[in-house]
Structure formats: C-alpha cells, structure tokens
Structure 1
Amino acid sequence: MTVADRLAALDRRTLALDVREAILTITITRPEVLNALSPEVIAELREVVGILRDGIGAGTDPDWSVRGVVITGAGPKAFVAGADIARMREMTAEQADAYTAEAQELTSWLETLPVPVVAAVNGFALGGGCELAMACDVILASENAAFGQPEVALGLIPGFGGCVRLQQYVGIAAARELILTGRRISAAEAERLGLVSRVLEDQDALLAAAREIIALAARQSPTAVAAAKRTVRAAQAHPTDAGLAIEREAFVARFGTPDMLEGTAAFVEKRRPEFTGA
C-alpha cells in the first residue's frame, strides 16, 4: 500500500484528510471547541504523521506519493486555539507528563518529515496551536489570525515546544516577552517578528498559497529537498563554523546521486529534469 492508501484507511474522528496532486491537507475538525488539541487529536495526528515518517522516502524503494503537507483548522475562527484545557484540568502530573511527551514527540516528527510542511493558520493559534504551527517549515496566516503562548494565565508554561521554538523564530528578547506576559499578537505583528512568512486575505487565499509552496517544492528533487530540510535543522543550533561543516558534509553527499546527476544533466541540456527521488 502507498502512503496515500494507508492514510485513506485510517479511522478518524477529529481529523479530515485530503490527498490531491501529492499534497496531503490535514484539517483538525473540532470547530465547536476551536479545534483544541485534546489527547484524541494528538493521537490521531501521531497516527497520520507516523505513517508519513515510515513511508515517505524510506527504504530502498521510496514512496513519494505525498510530497508535502498542509495543516489547518476547520472553520474561520481557529487553526488551533490551544490545548484542551477542560481535559488538562483533570490530569494528574503523571498524565500530564504522558500528554506533553506525546505532543512534543509529534512536533519533532513533523519537524523531521522529509517533505515540506506548511501551517495554514486561519484564526487563533494560541498555546498548543502556536506550538503545532512552529513545528512546521512555513507558517502562513490569514488576516484574522492571532498568535500567542498564554499558558502563564492558566498557571502553566508552554509544554509542547513553545519555550524552545519561539525563540528560534523571533529571538530570545521577543520570545521572553511573549511567554512571560502571555500577550497575544496579530498576524501582522507575527509577520514583522518573523514568526509568519506571509499574511493572506482570507482562508481560500491561505490554502491556495500553502498548496502553491508545496507544488513548487514538489517540482524539485525530493531527496534534495529532504536533505536541505535536514541540514537547515541540524545547523540551526550550532555556531557558524560548525554549521558550515554540517552543510559541507550534506552538500558533498549529494554528489553522484541519481537526482543530482539528472538535475545537472537537465540544466546543461536545457530541459526539465525528471527526478526519481533517488
């Protein structure tokens, strides 16, 4: 079974999945609670992302039937308004530890998928919603989007990666302010701070832009895109010299691969390359 076939066979209650033109769109479908990340939502997201991790580009016969992922929320009000507070209130410390462990692992899986992942933020992306978006490669926002880490207002702190990833996006000074105050920011301010790549007029424009980004990436060598994604992430936490060494090693590893040979030949011959993902 292809990755797309395995996804179609899943039993889902909180997600809608749509695979078209090798783009998987994941829609969180709990609009009545602003798409809050309950344990069930996290479990279903882990199932989906687990299938992608195990299938795309893996092994000697890689499956590239999905070339990118868009994550969004149902309805115009929210991407994900946060974790499920009503459920969290009843958790013991042991249950909370399992909850955050699974959510953190999910965000790490998203971050390390070999294909581009775009968060299409339509409305609130607060708490766990902001953390889910930050695990994606690109964040796009509609004009009505709002971002924030308001956990301190609940007597909590970010627990799904916000303390780590927010400073990677906006820098330590802005991250400290937002985390310590719980202040909510608009899509325009999020774009100015570097959290958001682009602000679009409405949800339709948002999803069209997300698909356009993935479609453009899908015209490139899938193994080169995967290598570039790994290299950017690996170099991120290192000083310049160490980061350059990581980049050099990854660059050299591309030489002699079928996709590299095809891409360079196509350039010289002035034709469109036919990549096989090898």
Structure 2
Amino acid sequence: MAVKIEKVGRVARIILNQPEKMNAMTAQLVEDFGKVLESIHENAADFGAVLITGSGKAFSAGGDQKWLEQRRKDTPSRNSQIMHDFYHRFLAVRSLPLPVVAAINGPAVGAGMCLAMACDIRVAARTAKMGFPFVSLGLHPGMGATHMIASVAGYETAYRLLLTGDMVTGEEAKELRLVSQVQEDGPSAQAEALALAERIAAQSPVAVRTLVRSLRRKQEEGLEAALWREADAQAHCYSTHDMHEGLKASIERRAPREALRFRAASNFF
C-alpha cells in the first residue's frame, strides 16, 4: 500500500509509503490515505493519538507532477471542485477525534508541508527542508496554506513563505514557529514524535478528545472559506502559460524563464 498504518501501543502510526516518489501525493497515495483515516475512525477507541510520517528520506514532496499535468488539461470549473475535494482528503486528519503529531523526517514540500500544518503538533529533523513553493510553479497556494500558516505561525511568516516560495530548514522552521521541536535527523524526529504521541495517549482519553475539539475549534474558523478561495484560485492558475513554464522548469530542474512568466502575468491581469 502507498500508505501504511501500524499500532504502537495506543498510537496509530500512519506512514506515507512511496519512498521512490518521495511520498508525493499520487492518486494511489490519496486513495490509501483516505482508507487509513476511515480505519482509525472505525477503531478510534483503540487509540489515544495519531502519528504521521514518511518512509525513506522524505515526509512528502507534495503534489504529483503527472496529476498536476492532468489539472492543466481540465476546465477551471471542474478543477475548482476537484481541488476542494483533494484538500479535504488530507485535511480529514482534523476530523479525527484524536490529537495528530507529524514527524517531519525529511523534505516536506508544498501540499506535503500543508499536510504537516494540518496536524496538531510538528516535530522535525534539523536539516529537513520545508516550504510552500507554489508560486515558483505559477500556482496559487492550496490545501489550507493561506489559513493554517497564519493560524500557527502568524501572518508575517505566512506572507514571507507563500510570496517567496522560500524553503527553510527544521531549525529555521522552529524559529518561525512552524514546528515545536527539532531533532538531529529523520529517525530521531520520528522517535521523539512517537514518544510525544505516547505521552499524550497515556492521558485520560475523554479529557484529551474534548480538549482537541476545543483547541481546533477556534483554529478552524474561516478555514472552509479559505479552502474554496484557494481551490478557485488554483483552478484559474492551471491553464496559464506561467503554470506551464513553472511545472516544466520543475521537471527539468531549472529556473523558470522570466520573460515568459512576466508576459503570462500581464496577460492574466
């Protein structure tokens, strides 16, 4: 499976399991992730906390390039609904009645980092690269990025990271309040995150579950409106020359050609 689940005591450990693709969000990973969340919902009484991490050297490299190419060929009206549904497949972690800890063991990029931001607590490897380089692809940020970053780390951090597409290390992410703890490497981050999840799982189940609902409630005010705004904005970005050039440059591992990007921007507005 593209996503695995393991029971470690009272912790449900979810592992994104396509290391050869750096755990990019392929159609198979999306489908399997939904099945794992359904399984946890059905057996919630068996768990006290959830841990999400990636297999191999990455947490998640974000959107799958083949899937992004498919979006470029679709209509804005269809893409708006497709993107909104895609967001909810992953943000459903917030509907779990249990606290969710992310162990960022390696690169967490774009939608992959958005998944980490949707978790309640984040522990990262010191050298893990994290960021939201949507604009570098010619794409408006999605999957709750505009809402969750500001909610967790403040608006100035959200503006800086989203408008520049800057990538930061685990150490920098802690300074920016994107993560709460850093460890020396990926395995250490996973071990610390598991220990944290186990401490939570050892507490009173009723108290923990009601507290999670209380803490999330304020954070989620305005989230659904933000998701629809992001979905609509992304849907209109997909058909632009800017997006075409940004995605091509990413595949070819080069910088986008500025002349094409600036012309695309002037035509769009």
TM score, norm. by length of structure 2? 0.76
| Amino acid of the structure 2 residue aligned with 1:23 | V
Contact 1:88 1:96 in 2 (8 A): no
1:246 is matched with none
1:129 is matched with 112
1:227 deviates by: 0.7
Deviations 1:178-235, CA, capped at 9 Å, x for gaps: 1111111111111011111100112222122111111111221111101111111113
Return the match for 1:48 from 31, 36, 42.
36
Distance 2:88 2:99 in 1: 18
Contact 1:39 1:99 in 2 (8 A): no
Distance 1:147 1:37, change over 3 A: same
Contact 2:4 2:15 in 1 (8 A): yes
Contact 1:42 1:102 in 2 (8 A): no
1:89 is matched with 69
1:120 deviates by: 0.6
| Amino acid of the structure 2 residue aligned with 1:65 | D
2:10 is matched with 22
2:46 is matched with 65
Higher-Rg member (1/2):
1
1:138 deviates by: 0.7
1:33 is matched with 21
Contact 1:24 1:68 in 2 (8 A): yes
Q: Structure 2: any 5+ residue segments left out of the alignment?
A: 222-269
- What is the DSSP-based 3-state SS (H/G/I as helix, E as strand, rest coil) of the residue aligned with 1:26? strand
1:176 deviates by: 0.9
Distance 1:145 1:16 in 2: 22
| 1:178 corresponds to 2:158 | no
2:240 is matched with none
Contact 2:105 2:187 in 1 (8 A): no
Contact 1:143 1:187 in 2 (8 A): yes
2:201 is matched with 218
Distance 1:55 1:212, change over 3 A: same
Which gives a bigger RCO, structure 1 or 2 (Cα 8 Å, sep 6+)? 2
Return the match for 2:97 from 114, 118, 132.
114
Moved more, 16-25 or 173-182: 16-25
- What is the DSSP-based 3-state SS (H/G/I as helix, E as strand, rest coil) of the residue aligned with 2:40? helix
1:237 deviates by: 6.2
Distance 1:80 1:55, change over 3 A: same
Deviations 1:79-113, CA, capped at 9 Å, x for gaps: 00111022211221356335422332134321231
| Amino acid of the structure 1 residue aligned with 2:67 | R
- Please report the RMSD computed on the Cα atoms of aligned residues, expressed in angstroms: 1.7
Contact 1:114 1:225 in 2 (8 A): no
2:175 is matched with 192
Distance 1:161 1:236 in 2: 12
Distance 2:144 2:157 in 1: 16
| Amino acid of the structure 2 residue aligned with 1:227 | T
1:255 is matched with none
Between Structure 1 and Structure 2, how many residues are aligned?
A: 218
Q: Structure 1: any 5+ residue segments left out of the alignment?
A: 1-12, 57-63, 239-278
Q: Which has the higher helix share?
A: 2
Distance 1:197 1:237, change over 3 A: same
TM score, norm. by length of structure 1? 0.74
- What is the DSSP-based 3-state SS (H/G/I as helix, E as strand, rest coil) of the residue aligned with 2:179? coil
- What is the DSSP-based 3-state SS (H/G/I as helix, E as strand, rest coil) of the residue aligned with 1:80? coil
Distance 1:189 1:197 in 2: 11
